[in-house]
Amino acid sequence: MTRLSVNINKIATIRNARGGNMPDLLKAAADCERFGAEGITVHPRPDERHIRYEDVRMLKPLVTTEFNIEGNPIPSFVELVLANKPHQVTLVPDAHNAITSNAGWDTLTHRHFLSEMCAEFKRNGIRTSIFVDPDPKMVKGAYLCGCDRVELYTESYARMFPADPASAIAPFIRAAEAARDCGLGLNAGHDLNLENLEYYIRNIPWTDEVSIGHAIICDALYMGLERTIQAYLSKVHIF
């Protein structure tokens, strides 16, 4: 069964807009879990414009489900992850000035670096996932780097879905099949929402985990956080 990990970056963004501690990020994470979330995801960036490094340190002892830290493995990020030992680290190749993640790794070009990173995290008992575009070559390259999972970057699926769901999902099925053939676990994330999520899971039911943040917070403005998380769970727990 696919698990839902809630990315709480946007909650931190709202907090940071005014300073202080409203909304309370730690309470929000606990509430997400209480409402049924099966994991908490954070994506700290060097400028700390949403999740701060200190947030990660404070969340680690409080998260009772799966804790996933994602980001570009620059030295400060690696140090943060090793010090806090989440269940999973997701390696994402963000540029320092990227508004949000906008591409997966070229796992062939960066094979040596990613192999070193995967080995270091796995030595410390942390499951590793590499963020990739829906390209079987990149999936197979990730496998050669020694990771445990890949996370498929689903922006193109979400963008194409309203006009042509079958064409939108096709490259993701091929990439997901490549991951399965390699024995890799499979995650997905970016722009998944209540409209496109169930179709994705029905076509790739061996997806282990989806990580969703922006859409959940947007829907929560109208539905409330508890109803929203329950609505998303109903889209992933369909088998």
Cα distances from 213 to residues 83, 89, 109, 126, 138, in angstroms, run 24, 17, 30, 22, 25
- Distance, in Å, from the CA atom of 123 to the CA atom of 125, rounded to the nearest integer, reads 6
- Count of CB atoms within 10 A of residue 112's CB? 9
Which of 38, 50, 155, 190 does the annotation list as catalytic?
Answer: 190
Q: Which of 33, 38, 43, 50 is flagged as catalytic?
A: 43
33 sits in which H/E element: helix 25-34
Is 43 known to be catalytic? yes
What phi, psi does 42 have (nearest 5°)? -130, 150
Catalytic residue flag (residue 198):
no
> Which residue among the candidates 70, 151, 155, 209 is catalytic per the annotation?
70
Token pair listed for 18: 């005014």
Burial of 151 per CB tally in 10 Å (0-12, 13-18, 19+): buried
Dig out the tokens for 142 from the structure: 């990730």
DSSP code of residue 50:
S
Q: Measured on CA atoms in the order 213, 219, 223, 228, is the torsion positive or negative?
A: negative
Tell me, yes or no, if 50 is annotated catalytic. no
Residues involved in catalysis: 43, 70, 190
